[in-house]
C-alpha cells in the first residue's frame, strides 16, 4: 500500500493561506469616515435652533407636494397655485426608511409609532426653485419613541418643491399638480 497524504492534510495549508489573506485584507481596508454631525452655522439666523438644544436625528425627506389651482384670497377673479400638502419618506443618512412626513396638518411619524405636529416659527429663502428653509417648534409627541422630546425641526438642504410653473387660471381652477422635492429634516431635543 502506498502512503499518500490525506485530502484533509492537503487542504490545511490552503485554508491557512486563505485565512491569512483575509486577515491581511481586513487590516489594509480603510474604515469609512464617521458621519459628521449636522452644523447650522451656515444657515440664516432666523432658522437656527436656539442654544440649549442638540441634534437628535438627521433625516432626508424624499417625496412630493400637491398644489391646487384656487381663487386668490381677497382678489376676485384671480387664481394661484396653493399648497395642499406634502407626502414624503424620511430616510436616515444611510438611506434606510425611518419614518414619513405628510399633511395637513404637517406630521412627522417615526417607524416606531411615535409622531408629532409642529408650529412654524420662521422661513428663509433657500434658492430659486426650492422651498424655503424652515424652522418649526414641535408640539408634544404622540407615543413613545424617536419623536418623544423633540423640541424643534429644521428643513434644510432643499431641492425643488415650489409651485408649478404651468398656468393657473379660472379655466383650470380646481386642477391639482404634484411637484417632486427633497429636503433634510433635522430633529432637535433639549440638551
pLDDT, one tens digit per residue, over 126-152 is 999 999 999 999 999 999 999 999 999
Output the pLDDT for position 36. 60
Q: Which of 185, 175, 182, 177 is nearest to 161 (CA)?
A: 182
Is the preceding peptide bond at 105 cis, omega within 30 degrees of 0? Answer: yes
Question: How far from the centroid of its chain's Cα atoms is residue 185's Cα?
Answer: 5
Cell numbers that stand for 61 in this block: 425627506
Which residue would you say has higher pLDDT here, 141 or 1?
Answer: 141
Rounded average pLDDT over 103-114: 97
- Please name the helix (run of DSSP H) or strand (run of DSSP E) that holds residue 93, with its range, or none: none
Angle at 147 between CA 41 and CA 42, to 5 degrees: 10
- 3-state SS class at 23: helix
Q: Which of 61, 57, 78, 59 is nearest to 69 (CA)?
A: 78
Output the pLDDT for position 37. 73
Rounded average pLDDT over 113-119: 98
pTM: 0.79
Q: Please write the tens of the pLDDT for every residue from 5-47.
A: 444 444 344 334 333 333 333 333 333 344 467 899 999 999 9
CA-CA distance, 188 to 168, in Å (whole number)?
A: 38
CA-CA distance, 70 to 67, in Å (whole number)?
A: 9
Average pLDDT, the chain: 86
Amino acid at each position: 500500500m502506498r502512503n499518500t497524504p490525506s485530502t484533509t492534510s492537503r487542504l490545511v495549508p490552503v485554508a491557512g493561506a486563505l485565512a491569512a489573506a483575509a486577515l491581511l485584507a481586513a487590516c489594509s481596508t480603510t474604515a469609512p469616515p464617521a458621519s459628521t454631525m449636522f452644523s447650522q452655522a451656515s444657515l440664516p439666523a432666523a432658522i437656527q435652533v436656539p442654544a440649549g438644544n442638540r441634534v437628535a436625528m438627521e433625516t432626508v425627506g424624499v417625496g412630493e407636494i400637491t398644489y391646487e389651482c384656487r381663487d386668490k384670497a381677497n382678489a376676485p377673479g384671480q387664481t394661484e397655485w396653493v399648497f395642499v400638502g406634502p407626502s414624503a419618506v424620511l430616510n436616515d443618512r444611510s438611506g434606510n426608511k425611518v419614518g414619513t412626513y405628510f399633511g395637513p396638518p404637517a406630521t412627522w411619524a417615526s417607524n416606531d409609532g411615535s409622531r408629532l405636529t409642529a408650529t412654524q416659527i420662521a422661513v428663509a429663502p433657500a434658492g430659486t426653485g426650492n422651498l424655503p428653509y424652515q424652522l418649526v417648534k414641535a408640539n408634544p409627541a404622540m407615543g413613545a419613541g424617536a419623536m418623544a422630546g423633540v423640541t424643534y425641526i429644521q428643513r434644510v438642504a432643499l431641492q425643488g418643491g415650489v409651485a408649478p410653473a404651468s398656468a393657473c387660471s379660472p379655466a383650470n381652477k380646481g386642477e391639482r399638480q404634484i411637484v417632486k422635492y427633497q429636503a433634510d429634516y433635522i430633529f432637535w431635543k433639549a440638551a
